[in-house]
Amino acid sequence: MLRLYDTATAKVRPLALRRPGAASLYVCGPTVYDAPHLGHGRFALVFDVLRRYLVASGLEVTYVSNITDVDDKVIERARQEGVEPGELARRYEETWWAAMDALGVLRPDHVPHATAYVARMVEVVGELVQRGVAYEIPDGVYLSTEAVPGYGLLARQPLDTLRAGARVEAVEAKRSPLDFVLWKKAKPGEPTWPSPWGPGRPGWHTECVVMSLDLLGEGFDLHGGAIDLIFPHHENERAQAVALGRDFAHHWVHNGWVTVAGEKMSKSLGNFTSLDDLLARGDPRAYRLLVLRAHYRSPIEVTPETVGQAEAGLARLDELARRFHLADPLAVGDPVAVVGEADDEDLDREAVARFVERMDDDLDTPGALSGVFELVREANAAADAGRATDAARTARTVAHLAAVLGLPLRGVRSAVEDPEVLDLVARRDAARAERRFADADALRTELVRLGWVVEDGPEGTRVRRP
C-alpha cells in the first residue's frame, strides 16, 4: 500500500482509504488570471502521477481539481485589460487546459468552478455565522481563528507564534490579524452575488471546502497542492471544516518548489518562467521526466541544462522503443493497470515489484525511474547478446512502467515521405553496397544538413528526426 508524507502529522504514513478499493483526491487547481508557469506544471504533473499510480494500483480513483475563476487577481487583471472578469477567466482556463494536454496531464473527473458554487458558499458562511465562529464587520464576514481548535496544525506553528509574525493588516476591525475573510462585500465595479450580508463575493478559502465536500463527501482521502498552499490556504480550509464540525481530508500532500537560479520562482521576483515557453522549446515529456527525477517534496532547479539532461534521458527511452518496435502501449489519456495484474507473463514481474516498492515509499519516482533505466540497459544488453525473448520482455516492461508515470515512449518511426530524403537514402544504400564510402559519407553529410539523424543498420540506412 502506498505510504505518503502527511503534512498534518509530519510523518510518512499509509494512505488509509475511506473505502477500500477507492481513493478520493482533491487537488487545489489554478487561479486563472494569467498563463501557467513552471510551478503550475510541476504540481499538475506530481498529482497526475500520483493519480495514475493509484489507478495502476487497481484503485477506483475520483480526482477533483478546481478552477478559481473569481478573486482579486482575476478582477484586477480584467480591469487592466478592459475585459469582463468572467471572460478573462475563461480565456486563461483555456490556456491552462492546453498546457495540461501538452503535458499529458489527465483531466480531473470533476472540475468545479468557484463561480458555480457561490450559493453553496453563502450557505456555509451563514452556518459559520450561526455557529458563532464567524462575525460580520463593515467590509465582510470573517472566521474567528481563535474559535477553531488546533488552528496552526498544518502550518505546524501554534496560534500565538503565527500571530506574532502577522503584520498589521489593513482591516483593523478584525478581532485577530489571523482571521480571514469568508465573504467580501462588494466594491464598485466588481462581480457580485447576493447574500444575507449584502452583495459581494466569497473569500478564497471557502470554495475548496465547499466543493471538495460536495463532490467527495466527508472524510475524503487526500487533499493536495503545492507547498505554499499549506498556509494560509489549506490551514484556513481546514479551519472552516473544523468549525463546521465536518470531517475533512484525512491526508495532506504538498509538493515542493520549482526554483530558477536557486530562488523560488515567482512573478514578484521577476524570474517567472512560462510553462508555454518551456513546452514550445521542446518535447513536453522532458519536463515530466525532469519533474519525476526529483522527489516530489524536494525543490527542483529548472535551467536549460537540466532540461537538456532530461531530453537526453528521454532520447534513451525512445531509442529503446525504436529498437524494440514498441508501439505506445497506451494513449496519454489511458492509465494502465500494470501493478495489479501480477499474472501478466509479458512483463518482468520482479522489476515491476521493485518499481511498486519504490513508488509505495512516498512516491519515490527518482528511485522508480532509476529502476526503469536499469531495465533499459538490461534490455539492450540482452538484445546485444542475442537473447531476444528476454530483451523484448524487459523492453516491454520499460514501456509499461514509463506509461504508469505518464511517459509514453515514441517508438514508432514516422514514415519519411520527402522524395528528396528518400532519394538520398536510396543513393546512400547503393553507395554503401558498392563500398563507395566517400560517396556514402557525403550523402550522410547532406542528410544531416537537412536535419536528419542517420543510422546504419543491417537493413540499410535509417533516418529520423533528432
Partner RNA sequence: GGCGGCGUGGCCGAGUGGUUGAGGCAGGGGCCUGCAAAGCCCUUUACCCGGGUUCGAUUCCCGGCGCCGCCUCCA
Site for RNA in 344-373 (CB under 7 A): 364, 366-367, 369-370, 373
- Closest to RNA by CB, 295 or 400: 295
CA of residue 142 relative to chain centroid, distance: 32
Contact call for residues 141 and 182 (beta carbons, < 8 A)? yes
The answer to whether residue 110 forms part of the interface with RNA (CB under 7 A) is no
347/446 Cα distance (integer angstroms): 41
- Closest to RNA by CB, 17 or 311: 311
Query: Could you tell me the smallest distance in angstroms from the CB atom of residue 12 to RNA?
Result: 10
Query: Could you tell me the smallest distance in angstroms from the CB atom of residue 408 to RNA?
Result: 18
Query: Could you tell me the smallest distance in angstroms from the CB atom of residue 264 to RNA?
Result: 4
Binding test (CB under 7 A) with RNA, winner from 39, 112, 408, 411: 39
Binding test (CB under 7 A) with RNA, winner from 116, 230, 244, 416: 230
Query: Could you tell me the smallest distance in angstroms from the CB atom of residue 236 to RNA?
Result: 8
Q: How many residues bind RNA (CB under 7 A)?
A: 84
3-state secondary structure the chain: CCEEEECCCCEEEECCCCECCEEEEEECCCECCCCCEHHHHHHHHHHHHHHHHHHHCCCEEEEEECEECCCHHHHHHHHHHCCCHHHHHHHHHHHHHHHHHHHCCCCCCECCEHHHHHHHHHHHHHHHHHCCCEEEECCEEEECHHHCCCCCCCCCCCHHHHHHHCCCCCCCCCCCCCCEEEEEECCCCCCCECCCCCCEEECHHHHHHHHHHHHHCCCCCEEEEEHHHHHHHHHHHHHHHHHHCCCCCCCEEEECCEEECCEECCHHHCCCCEHHHHHHHCCHHHHHHHHHCCCCCCCEECCHHHHHHHHHHHHHHHHHHHHCCCCCCCCCCCCCCCCCCCCCCCCCHHHHHHHHHHHHECCCHHHHHHHHHHHHHHHHHHHHCCCHHHHHHHHHHHHHHHHHCCCCCCCCCCCCCCHHHHHHHHHHHHHHHCCCHHHHHHHHHHHHHCCCEEEEECCEEEEECC
Binding test (CB under 7 A) with RNA, winner from 130, 268, 389, 414: 268
Closest by alpha carbon to 322, among 235, 413, 242, 237? 413
Binding test (CB under 7 A) with RNA, winner from 380, 397, 405, 452: 380
Task: Looking at residues 277 to 316 of the shown chain, list those that interact with RNA (rule: CB under 7 A).
Answer: 293-295, 298-301, 305-306, 308-309, 312-313, 316
The answer to whether residue 91 forms part of the interface with RNA (CB under 7 A) is no
Query: Could you tell me the smallest distance in angstroms from the CB atom of residue 428 to RNA?
Result: 8
Task: Looking at residues 65 to 84 of the shown chain, list those that interact with RNA (rule: CB under 7 A).
Answer: 72-73
- Closest to RNA by CB, 57 or 206: 206
Task: Looking at residues 9 to 28 of the shown chain, list those that interact with RNA (rule: CB under 7 A).
Answer: 28
Binding test (CB under 7 A) with RNA, winner from 95, 116, 139, 177: 177
Query: Could you tell me the smallest distance in angstroms from the CB atom of residue 363 to RNA?
Result: 10
Contact call for residues 117 and 214 (beta carbons, < 8 A)? yes
Query: Could you tell me the smallest distance in angstroms from the CB atom of residue 343 to RNA?
Result: 27
182/206 Cα distance (integer angstroms): 6
Query: Could you tell me the smallest distance in angstroms from the CB atom of residue 344 to RNA?
Result: 24
Could you give the count of Cα atoms lying within 13 Å of 219 in the half-sphere of its Cβ? Answer: 5
From 56-64, 160-168, 245-253, 401-409, span contacting RNA (CB under 7 A)? 160-168
- Closest to RNA by CB, 218 or 263: 263
215/351 Cα distance (integer angstroms): 37
Task: Looking at residues 200 to 219 of the shown chain, list those that interact with RNA (rule: CB under 7 A).
Answer: 204
Query: Could you tell me the smallest distance in angstroms from the CB atom of residue 13 to RNA?
Result: 16
Query: Could you tell me the smallest distance in angstroms from the CB atom of residue 82 to RNA?
Result: 22
Binding test (CB under 7 A) with RNA, winner from 99, 106, 143, 162: 162
Contact call for residues 242 and 148 (beta carbons, < 8 A)? yes
Query: Could you tell me the smallest distance in angstroms from the CB atom of residue 158 to RNA?
Result: 8
CA of residue 150 relative to chain centroid, distance: 30
Task: Looking at residues 381 to 440 of the shown chain, list those that interact with RNA (rule: CB under 7 A).
Answer: 381, 383-384, 432, 437-438, 440
Query: Could you tell me the smallest distance in angstroms from the CB atom of residue 221 to RNA?
Result: 19
From 35-43, 243-251, 334-342, 399-407, span contacting RNA (CB under 7 A)? 35-43
From 18-26, 225-233, 329-337, 399-407, span contacting RNA (CB under 7 A)? 225-233
Binding test (CB under 7 A) with RNA, winner from 2, 59, 454, 463: 454
- Closest to RNA by CB, 18 or 436: 436
Binding test (CB under 7 A) with RNA, winner from 63, 142, 180, 183: 180
